Structure formats: C-alpha cells, structure tokens
C-alpha cells in the first residue's frame, strides 16, 4: 500500500518526507482483534448487556448517576464540562469514549492497563458512582433483566462471588465500548488520495488544512506524540499544562497512575485476566516509576477533537484555538528538562494557529461508523 508514495506532480506541495509522515496517520479504521484478557470481547450478547449497563443509574449509590451522565452520546461521549460531576465533583475532564480498543493505558494517568479495569473505576470511586462490588453484584442477582443479560453474556447465571460478577460487568461494558470506533474523516480521504496518487482527491482537501497539516507533521512536531492512525503514541508526556488542583495540591499524573496500577487488584497481572498466557501484560510487568513521570498525562487521540471541548486533563483550555495558542506560547522552563527536548515554544502567527485548527477540524468524522440508535439499552429477556 505504501508504494503509492511515489509522488505525482499534483502532490508536490508536500515533500516526500512530509508525505511519508502524513501516510503514517492511516489507514482508518485500523484492523483490530478481540481483547484476549476479556472473554466477553466481541461477543454480541455481552455488547448488548454492556450497553444496558452503560445507561443504568442503579449502578450508583444515589440511583441517579450512570456512565452516560458524564459520557453523553449526544455530546460526543463526554459531558462538555471542564471537570466532571457524578455523586460529587471530580478533578479531571471526562474523555470521549471512542477508539478505546487501540489504547494501551486508560485514564489520564494510565492507572488502568485494560478497558475492563478502567470501567470498574467509576463504580468504585465514591465521587462518581461508588456502588462497589457488593452493591453491583446484589443488583445484578436481584434484577430479572440484568441477571438474564449477565447469563446471556457469560453463559452462566450470576454466582455467589461478588467480585467476579463485578469484574464481569467491567468486561461487558468493555465489549460495548470496543464497538465505538470513529468514522472516516476528510483527513482520511486526503491521506488515502495521497497514498493512491489521486490528484483530484487531494485537491478537495482545503488549503488551510493542508498548511495546518504541514505544521503538524513538521515544525510543530505535534506528530511526535500525536502519532499514528489514532493520533496518539499511547504514551505519557508533559505538554506544559498546569496541574494544580487547588491551593497546595497538584495532580501527580502518570506518577500517581503507576502507583495506583501497582496497588490494584484489577490488572493484567492479576487473577481476573482471562488470558492464561498473559500475552498483553508486558507493559504492566515492565513499567517503572520515574521522577519524570510527575505531571505527565496520557497523550490523547485527536480524532473528533473538535467535538470534545474543553481540552486537557482538567479541561483548562476551552477551544482548539486556545490549544493552538498554548503550544504557541508554551513556557519551556516549566517542562521537564531531562532527555530530548520535544516541545518548543512555537511562536505561531495568528494565521498559522488558524491553519492548525483548520487541520484539527478535518479529523472530525463525517458520518459515525456505528450510528447510535435510541437511548435505553434494555436487554430483551423473557
Ligand atoms: C462523574 C463522571 C463520570 C462517570 C459517572 C463515569 N465516568 Fe468515565 N471518566 C470520567 C473521567 C473524569 C475520566 C478520566 C479519569 C481519569 O483520568 O482519572 C473518565 C475516564 C473513563 C475512561 C477512560 C478513557 C480513556 O481514554 O482512557 C473510560 C473507558 C470510562 N471513563 C468509562 C466509563 C464507564 C464505563 C462508566 C460507567 C461505569 C463511567 N466511565 C462513568 C468521568 C466519569
Ligand atoms: C510531548 C508530546 C506532545 C506534543 C509534541 C504535542 N502534544 Fe498535544 N498533548 C500531549 C499531551 C500529554 C496532552 C494532554 C496534556 C494534559 O492534559 O495535561 C495533549 C493534549 C492535546 C490536545 C487536547 C486533546 C484533548 O482531548 O483534551 C490537543 C488538541 C493537542 N494536544 C494538539 C497538539 C498539537 C496541535 C500539537 C503541535 C503543536 C501538539 N499537541 C503537540 C502531548 C503532546
């Protein structure tokens, strides 16, 4: 497929090197396979059950908060708030829930190493839903629809082990969330036209977006971190975003995430991994805590970013224009000194910032791949 790089005349506004870097952001959607750590991954009955759980407010202590309270399908699967509010306020911004199946770590701090473990966190956190293993297991056992959904998804009635039922809820939710992959974008059409050497296809991509794209893969160095088809290298970095939570309190970011991961019962090294060979657990096994992890956050993917304002781990930037300004005026002194300097203050002109935004806006899907039908996800059991 990459042989299409040999540039036809019309593509020459991008150099061969730029073209190579652009092509790495596709094709979209990438191939994917079921998650071996989750026996429910890809199973239609588990997907249906997970969908029902996602909209289930009885999974919260107040009976009023569901996953969809903070991850609203009508708001690109986030809540539009700088920091979310469940039972109580939390410190961080709710990420949009799509393209999760391509992640290696979950949460802004990567405190979870699987999607199913991530889904348990709001059920444990008293500020979010807080129902915990006992409450969740009781609900599933006592409700006819939910226990039927569980049986269909996992092939057995909910048993006596609360924690096993609890983890299985995370797995059904993961099966559902894995189906959420964003659709094709104007950028993908351009990128594929470039791969094919299709000059007419390339000409349809707006000039401002092309200039922004050149900054993105070039002088801006954005693609160093926002790499590959999902526009993230799945790692952690300090992007110069202040991480004060309140007077005298800071969000430790990845440093705290690694410490939580090591304490957690729900990791790929633990007994709830359905993959006896632990084939996806290497990252967890070899993770090391370094001082430089302090204040690092996960590099977010940028697909559909135009729909998911506000931005950054605590929602500190309201618009994409603010993000472009942030990278343009960044205080280099605040960044970690160690290692290779990746981020530099870019001093972009107003037009360059607008170009960058024009490019980011072409990462918005033109038609959702999985049209979301209806709000309630009731499992139909008799
Ligand atoms: C109170 C609002 C709130 C509720 C309720 C909530 N979430 Fe979240 N969600 C968040 C926030 C905030 C984060 C970021 C957490 C962090 O990084 O510490 C998050 C992160 C996530 C992530 C990680 C995304 C990523 O890119 O790494 C997933 C997956 C997720 N939530 C799924 C769920 C599911 C499933 C439920 C219901 C069981 C749920 N959430 C309930 C606010 C919420
Ligand atoms: C050193 C790695 C790195 C580089 C280089 C980088 N970013 Fe980021 N980017 C991040 C990280 C990490 C975050 C999250 C920071 C946080 O929340 O504290 C982020 C956040 C963002 C967000 C917000 C996404 C969201 O959903 O909240 C956008 C948009 C973005 N970057 C665009 C860019 C652009 C445009 C460039 C180039 C000018 C760029 N980034 C360069 C690491 C990087």
Looking at the fold, whether 175 and 228 belong to one and the same domain comes out as no
pLDDT grade for 264, boundaries at 50, 70 and 90: very high
pLDDT grade for 380, boundaries at 50, 70 and 90: low
147-158 average pLDDT score: 97
Looking at the fold, whether 158 and 21 belong to one and the same domain comes out as no
Instruction: Report which bound ligand comes closest to the CA of 77.
Output: 1
Q: Is the dihedral of CA 269, 274, 278, 279 positive or negative?
A: negative
pLDDT greater than 60 at residue 50:
yes
Instruction: Report which bound ligand comes closest to the CA of 119.
Output: 1
* Domain ranges, residue 101: 32-183+257-294
pLDDT greater than 50 at residue 3:
no
What is the pLDDT at residue 242?
86
Indicate the angle between helix axes 115-124 and 132-142, nearest 10 degrees: 100
pLDDT grade for 145, boundaries at 50, 70 and 90: very high
Asked whether residue 63 is domain-assigned, the answer is yes
pLDDT greater than 70 at residue 268:
yes
What is the pLDDT at residue 287?
96
What is the pLDDT at residue 339?
52
Average pLDDT, the chain: 92
Asked whether residue 103 is domain-assigned, the answer is yes
What is the pLDDT at residue 370?
55
d(CA 254, CA 225): 16
Which residues are CB-contacts of 172 (< 8 A; sequence separation ≥ 6)? 40, 46, 47, 49, 50, 53, 149, 150, 153, 154
Looking at the fold, whether 12 and 159 belong to one and the same domain comes out as no
Which has the closest alpha carbon to 210: 10, 4, 13?
A: 13
Nearest CA to ligand 2 atom 41: 222
Asked whether residue 199 is domain-assigned, the answer is yes
Which token pair is 194?
Answer: 């470039």
pLDDT single digits (tens) 79-129:
999 999 888 889 999 999 999 999 999 999 999 999 999 999 999 999 999
Looking at the fold, whether 112 and 17 belong to one and the same domain comes out as no
Looking at the fold, whether 50 and 195 belong to one and the same domain comes out as no
318-347 average pLDDT score: 85
What is the pLDDT at residue 190?
98
pLDDT grade for 379, boundaries at 50, 70 and 90: low
For ligand 1, the distance from its centroid to the CA atom of residue 254, given in whole angstroms, is 16
Which token pair is 182?
Answer: 């964003």
Q: Hunting for tokens 């429910």 — which residue is that?
A: 40
Looking at the fold, whether 119 and 262 belong to one and the same domain comes out as yes
User: Does the C-beta of 308 come closer than 6 Å to ligand 2?
Assistant: yes
Q: Which residue has the higher pLDDT, 373 or 244?
A: 244
Looking at the fold, whether 103 and 194 belong to one and the same domain comes out as no
d(CA 35, CA 13): 41
d(CA 186, CA 249): 42
Q: Which atom number of ligand 2 is nearest to the Cα of residue 298?
A: 12
Which has the closest alpha carbon to 301: 37, 23, 25?
A: 25
Q: Which atom number of ligand 1 is nearest to the Cα of residue 313?
A: 17
Which has the closest alpha carbon to 267: 254, 278, 255?
A: 278
pLDDT grade for 247, boundaries at 50, 70 and 90: confident
Specify the number of domains making up the chain.
Answer: 2
Looking at the fold, whether 328 and 303 belong to one and the same domain comes out as yes
d(CA 319, CA 325): 10
Ligand 1: residues whose CB is within 6 Å?
Answer: 65, 67, 69-71, 84-86, 90, 92, 94-95, 97, 100, 103, 106-109, 115, 118-119, 122-123, 128-129, 173, 177
For ligand 1, the distance from its centroid to the CA atom of residue 129, given in whole angstroms, is 10
Instruction: Report which bound ligand comes closest to the CA of 318.
Output: 2
User: Does the C-beta of 223 come closer than 6 Å to ligand 2?
Assistant: no
Which token pair is 108?
Answer: 């802004």
Indicate the angle between helix axes 115-124 and 162-178, nearest 10 degrees: 120
For ligand 2, the distance from its centroid to the CA atom of residue 300, given in whole angstroms, is 7
Q: Hunting for tokens 């499992």 — which residue is that?
A: 379
What is the pLDDT at residue 377?
52
**Number of residues assigned to the chain:** 382
Asked whether residue 47 is domain-assigned, the answer is yes
Instruction: Report which bound ligand comes closest to the CA of 256.
Output: 1
Calculated CA dihedral for residues 278, 110, 263, 131, nearest 10 degrees: -100
Looking at the fold, whether 149 and 72 belong to one and the same domain comes out as yes
pLDDT single digits (tens) 348-357:
999 999 999 9
Nearest CA to ligand 1 atom 30: 119
Report the DSSP beta bridge partners of residue 270. none
Q: Which residue has the higher pLDDT, 227 or 337?
A: 227
């Amino acid at each position: 497929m990459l042989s299409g790089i040999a540039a036809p005349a019309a593509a020459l506004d991008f150099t061969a090197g730029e073209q190579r870097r652009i092509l790495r952001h596709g094709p979209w959607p990438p191939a994917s396979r079921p998650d071996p750590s989750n026996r429910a991954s890809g199973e239609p009955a588990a997907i249906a059950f997970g969908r029902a759980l996602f909209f289930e407010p009885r999974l919260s202590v107040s009976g009023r908060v569901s996953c969809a309270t903070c991850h609203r399908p009508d708001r690109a699967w986030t809540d539009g708030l700088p920091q979310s509010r469940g039972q109580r306020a939390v410190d961080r911004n709710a990420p949009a829930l799509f393209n999760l199946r391509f992640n290696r770590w979950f949460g802004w701090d990567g405190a979870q190493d699987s999607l199913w473990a991530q889904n348990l966190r709001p059920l444990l956190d008293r500020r979010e839903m807080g129902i915990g293993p006992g409450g969740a297991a009781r609900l599933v056992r006592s409700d006819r629809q939910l226990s039927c959904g569980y049986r269909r998804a996992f092939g057995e009635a909910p048993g006596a082990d609360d924690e096993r039922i609890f983890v299985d809820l995370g797995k059904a939710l993961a099966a559902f969330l894995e189906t959420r992959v964003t659709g094709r974008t104007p950028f993908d059409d351009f990128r594929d036209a470039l791969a094919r050497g299709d000059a007419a296809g390339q000409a349809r991509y707006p000039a401002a977006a092309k200039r922004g794209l050149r900054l993105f893969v070039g002088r801006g160095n954005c693609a160093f971190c926002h790499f590959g088809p999902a526009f993230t290298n799945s790692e952690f970095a300090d992007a110069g975003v202040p991480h004060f939570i309140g007077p005298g309190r800071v969000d430790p970011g990845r440093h705290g995430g690694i410490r939580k991961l090591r304490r957690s019962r729900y990791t790929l090294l633990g007994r709830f991994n359905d993959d006896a060979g632990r084939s996806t657990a290497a990252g967890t096994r070899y993770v090391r805590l370094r001082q430089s992890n302090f204040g690092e956050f996960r590099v977010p993917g940028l697909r559909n970013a135009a729909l998911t304002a506000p931005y950054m781990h605590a929602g500190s930037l309201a618009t994409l224009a603010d993000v472009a300004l942030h990278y343009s005026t960044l205080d280099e002194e605040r960044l970690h000194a160690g290692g290779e300097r990746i981020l530099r203050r870019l001093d972009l002109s107003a037009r360059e910032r607008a170009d960058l935004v024009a490019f980011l806006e072409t990462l918005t899907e033109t038609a959702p791949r999985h049209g979301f039908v209806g709000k309630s996800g009731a499992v139909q059991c008799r």
